[in-house]
Chains A and B, each alone.
Chain A
Amino acid sequence: MELIAKQNKTDVGNAAVSVSGSVAVLDALLAENVDTVFGYPGGAIMPIYDALYDYNDKLKHILVRHEQGAIHAAQGYARVSGKTGVVFATSGPGATNLVTGLADAMIDSTPVVCITGQVFAHLLGTDAFQETDVVNITTPVTKWNYQVTDATEIPAALAKAFFIAGSGRPGPVLIDITKNAQLQMFDYAGYRKCEHIRSYRPKPIVRNEYIAEAAKLINEAQKSFVIFGQGVILGNAEKEFQQFIEKAGLPAAWTIMGMSAIPTNHPLGVGMLGMHGNYGPNLLTNECDVLIAVGMRFDDRVTGRLDKYAKQAKIIHLDIDPAEIDKNVKTTVPVWGDCKETLPLLTELIEKKSHDAWLQKFNDCKKKEEEKVIHAELNPTDETLTMGEVLKQLNELTKGDAIIVTDVGQHQMVACRYAKFNHSKSNVTSGGLGTMGFALPAAIGAALGDTSRQTVAIIGDGGFQMTLQELGTIMQFNVNVKIIILNNQFLGMVRQWQQLFHEKRYSFVNITSPDFVQVAKGFNIAGKSINDRKDLQPALKEMLDAKGSYLLEIMVGKENNVFPMVPQGKGVSEIVLSKEEI
């Protein structure tokens, strides 16, 4: 059926054809240029799956092993491609299994459209089989959600869903469609993309007076400091951002979500912010005179104690979401708007400068961090492998061109501290929500979302066991994911905290693992486990050169800690480089 031809508005009118709600759903996806759907069938979404049978050549459906896997995969897909990820799930448990992923996508501003089946409209509220009030459950974790009970609503609901998910500050949208609406035949007049909703302003209007005020502050300042988040990536403003910092000659540090927006070796890139970020960016946040925040939301993991955060500085905050301004940190000059539009305006007005002495301060901090932390992490002298040296070797082999997908915990912090990136949209991780189990399914989505780059998932032994069923998805669809498990036989980050703040009372952090290589083998995925330094580089090379997916388990030091660290409840300038300083 060639229905999308009708999307042209001039076609709408007499040319209506009778189609089912399910066909209208799939036609909408095609009109939105969706090529991949992650999903899992079930009773209440069967009509859509039935229609999908005829769309096999146009829509690739990836059958996951758990709905959480579907939404994380859609997130990974969205994060590397910049497109909206699409998920199908059935009602009840299918839909509730999406909740973690929705929350993750909400807090990390990832565009995802989830379509869930729902029981027949006449059964709503009767505690029918597999009935859950999905719209209410997902309200706090969706940018928008809607229940469709009549097929005629489907085209408009989906058009709105895609518009809302992908525009402004992106986010997850859920459309719940009752089974009768999926089955219902109706006169379909074609799909119209949604471009405007009167009650929804994706972008606030850009106000030149604030741009001028911000430029004035920057021009008068001696040591401004730029901190940036995922907004730069979501706004496709990488080039504009680089031009801005290069003209201003200012040091720029990224949040975990902003990472890879500029190449990690950019001369003005001074590292990562946050609890386990780099020493200089954290320390000098409390020394700069103007703090320029671009597309970031002052998360508590970035700011540490708010009453000790950049109190000396004037704050310029560029953000597309008005609700972020002044939310956590009081702004001196707010620059509302899409940073792709506001950054060039700002760049235009600032003076070209260099700040050698100020940059030198960052370099001095970097040297100190090198001496006290980085050198030992990357060049350990004792037998046990460190996570850092794995990253170092990996960088040498991938040359910074790979997509790195990480889970949550110590390995995530180490990977984000040491991974090198040349390209934007390369660092995929669960930032705001900290969802263990995110990486494996997200890597599946990432590998499918950008086949031109290699996808390497780095996962801890704990997180891997949360979603390892998705190895089945990798097997079935020959997804090319290189999986590195950094196994320290502990839930490492919690263990680190128990060591540092709970008198080493190791309470349920000792986790045993199956033979991961055997597990992988069961899924027809090649693998290897190593614990010797001399095997590290060859094993990584073997993994990267392998034809398809590959699982490499690397046994690392059991009780290594991630440093530096801004201990909880401390200010960013109270960052410590070793446990002795705590």
Chain B
Amino acid sequence: MTKQEYTISVFTENQIGLLNRITTIFSRRKINIDSFNTSPSEIDSVYRITIVINETEEVVRKLCRQIEKQVEILKAYYNTADEIVWQELALYKVPTDVIAAEVKVERLLRQYGANTVVIRKDFTVFEVAGHREETEALIKVLEPYGLIEFVRSARVAIIKASDGFHKKLQEFEYKEPGEEAVENVFLNDHEKVFSM
């Protein structure tokens, strides 16, 4: 099996120390995390963690099982890039005088869909939300114009085939799980996106 990029979406309770529990699952196996984002979900008490790693599917599936095994994890899904809609946000700080003087820069920023966040006398900050190739490409482009600082956020991702977590959560809240709440559905629906 070949390695590829997987996005893992983990639905969790909110508890201090849980991040550590999740990250040690990776670090213990010497697996590098490319991106790690925590965020609220559509449900008040449920948090959503998005992790990006580069691994084989077999490893990713095992990792998800280990993650789900943790007491405060509700569910962990893994998806390839084509199964999700995802964005990363990048910020670029460039000297204002350079971009004011260079007409080309304006064209480039349009081309890359950059928005201006702040304009000061000394510098201007742009933002681009997009895929990694896009945010990375703009670094290259802006470098000749004196790019001062660059930073990129972790990935956030929406699973295309997901119908949200509300229903799932309800199943979890029942003491006796319904058929849908079982952990082993992937065997039947191995090919389906939203399963493991």
| A159–B22 alpha-carbon span in the complex (Å) | 24
Binds B, one of A113-121, A217-225, A319-327: A319-327
Chain A residue with minimal CB distance to B64?
Answer: A323
Whether the pair A199, B20 counts as a contact (CB closer than 8 A) is no
A406 to chain B, nearest CB (A): 28
B28 near A140: Cβ-Cβ < 8 Å: yes
The reply to whether the CB of A198 lies closer than 8 angstroms to some CB of chain B is: yes
Given contacts A139-B21, A207-B182, A207-B184, contact A199 B65 (CB under 8 A): no
Cβ of A322 and Cβ of B68 under 8 Å apart?
A: yes
* B66→A139 contact, CB < 8 A: no
Within 8 A of A (CB), among B65-94: 65-66, 68-69, 71-74
Digitize A326-356: 1 where CB-to-B-CB distance is under 8 Å, 0 elsewhere: 1100000010100000000000000000000
Given A199-B12, A323-B62, verify A205-B182 contact (CB < 8 Å): yes
Minimal Cβ-Cβ distance residue in A for B17: A135
Is there contact, CB below 8 Å, between B71 and A164?
yes
The digit string for A157-184, where 1 denotes a CB below 8 A from any CB of B, is: 0000000100000000000000000000
Chain A residues contacting B66 (CB-CB under 8 Å) are 323
Chain A residues positioned under 8 Å from B16 (CB to CB): 147
Check A205/B179 contact, CB under 8 A, given A323-B62, A323-B68: yes
Closest CB-CB distance, B70 to chain A, in whole Å? 8
**Which chain A residues lie closer than 8 Å to B169 at the CB level?**
198
Chain A facing B: main interface SS: mixed
B187 at interface (Cβ–Cβ under 8 A)? yes
| B134 beta carbon closer than 8 Å to chain A | no
Distance A135 CA – B15 CA, assembled complex (angstroms): 12
| A198 & B183 in contact (Cβ 8 Å cutoff) | no
Closest Cβ–Cβ distance, residue A483 to chain B (whole Å) = 36
Q: Are B179 and A198 in contact (CB under 8 A)?
A: no
Task: Give the total of B residues in contact with A, Cβ under 8 Å.
Answer: 30
User: Within the complex, which residue of A144, A198, A325 is in contact with B172, where a contact is CB–CB below 8 Å?
Assistant: A198
Instruction: Please name all residues of chain A whose beta carbon is closer than 8 Å to the beta carbon of B20 when the two chains form the complex.
Output: 136, 139
In Å, the complex CA distance between A444 and B66 comes to 34
**Contact yes or no, A323 B21, CB < 8 A:** no
A145 interface contact, C-beta 8 A? yes
Say if the beta carbon of B143 comes within 8 Å of chain A.
no
Interface residue from A196, A197, A204 paired with B183 (Cβ < 8 Å): A204
Chain B residues with Cβ below 8 Å from A205 are 177, 179, 181-182
The reply to whether B17 and A201 contact each other, CB–CB distance below 8 Å, is: no
Is B13's CB within 8 Å of the partner chain A? Answer: yes
Which chain A residues lie closer than 8 Å to B74 at the CB level? Answer: 198-199
Q: Does B44 contact A (CB under 8 A)?
A: no
Say yes or no: A198 contacts B173, CB within 8 Å: yes
Chain B residues in 8 Å Cβ range of A198:
74, 169, 172-173
Q: Are B184 and A204 in contact (CB under 8 A)?
A: yes
Q: Does A200 make an interface contact (CB < 8 A)?
A: yes
Interface size range of chain A in the complex:
20 to 34
Interface flags for B14-50 (1: CB within 8 Å of A; 0: not) read 0111001100100010000000000000000000000
Contacts of B12 in A (CB 8 A): 199
Pair B65/A322 contact, Cβ less than 8 Å: yes
Q: Which residues of B contact A136 (CB under 8 A)?
A: 17, 20
Residues on the A chain within 8 Å of B175, using CB:
195-196
Number of A-B pairs, beta carbon distance below 8 Å: 69
Whether the pair B69, A199 counts as a contact (CB closer than 8 A) is: no
Interface residues of A in 135-151 (CB under 8 A from B): 135-136, 139-140, 143-147
Flag if B184 contacts A334 (CB, 8 Å). yes
**Chain B contacts of A204 at CB under 8 A?**
182-184
Known A139-B24, A145-B17, A205-B181; contact A199-B187, beta-carbon cutoff 8 A:
no
In angstroms, Cα B187 to Cα A146, docked, is 34
**In contact, B73 and A199 (Cβ under 8 angstroms):** yes
Q: How far is the CA of A139 from the CA of B182 in the complex (A)?
A: 26
Partner pick for A199 among B62, B172, B179, B183, CB 8 A cutoff: B172
Which of A184-208 touch B at CB < 8 Å? 195-201, 204-205, 207
Residues of B within 8 A of A164 (CB): 71
With contact pairs A140-B24, A205-B179 given, residues A200 and B17 touching in the complex (Cβ less than 8 Å): no
Chain B CB within 10 A, most for which of A135, A145, A323: A323
Query: In the complex, what distance in Å separates the CA atom of A204 from the CA atom of B187?
Result: 14
Alpha-carbon distance A144/B17, docked complex (angstroms): 10
**Closest residue on chain B to residue A163 by CB atoms:** B71
Which residues of A lie under 8 Å from residue B15 when comparing CB positions?
Answer: 146
Complex: chain B residue closest to A195, CB-CB: B175
User: What is the minimal beta-carbon distance from A336 to any residue of chain B, in angstroms?
Assistant: 5
CA distance A135 to B21 in the complex (A): 10
In chain B, residues 141-192, which have Cβ atoms closer than 8 Å to a Cβ of chain A? 169, 172-173, 175, 177, 179, 181-184, 187
For residues 511 through 551 of chain A, which have their beta carbon under 8 Å from a beta carbon of chain B? Answer: none
Please, how many angstroms separate the alpha-carbon atoms of A47 and B78 in the complex? 47
Residue with the highest number of chain A CB atoms closer than 10 Å, among B65, B74, B177: B65
Assembled-state Cα–Cα distance A435/B88 (Å): 47
- B-side interface residues toward A, CB under 8 Å? 12-13, 15-17, 20-21, 24, 28, 61-62, 65-66, 68-69, 71-74, 169, 172-173, 175, 177, 179, 181-184, 187
Give A contacts to B, CB under 8 Å. Answer: 135-136, 139-140, 143-147, 164, 195-201, 204-205, 207, 210, 321-323, 325-327, 334, 336
Closest 10 CB pairs of A and B: A323-B65, A198-B172, A322-B183, A205-B182, A144-B71, A196-B175, A199-B74, A323-B69, A200-B71, A198-B173
Report 17 cross-chain contacts, Cβ distance below 8 Å, ordered by A residue.
A135-B17, A136-B17, A139-B21, A145-B17, A146-B17, A196-B175, A200-B72, A204-B182, A205-B177, A207-B182, A323-B62, A323-B68, A325-B65, A326-B61, A327-B62, A327-B65, A336-B184
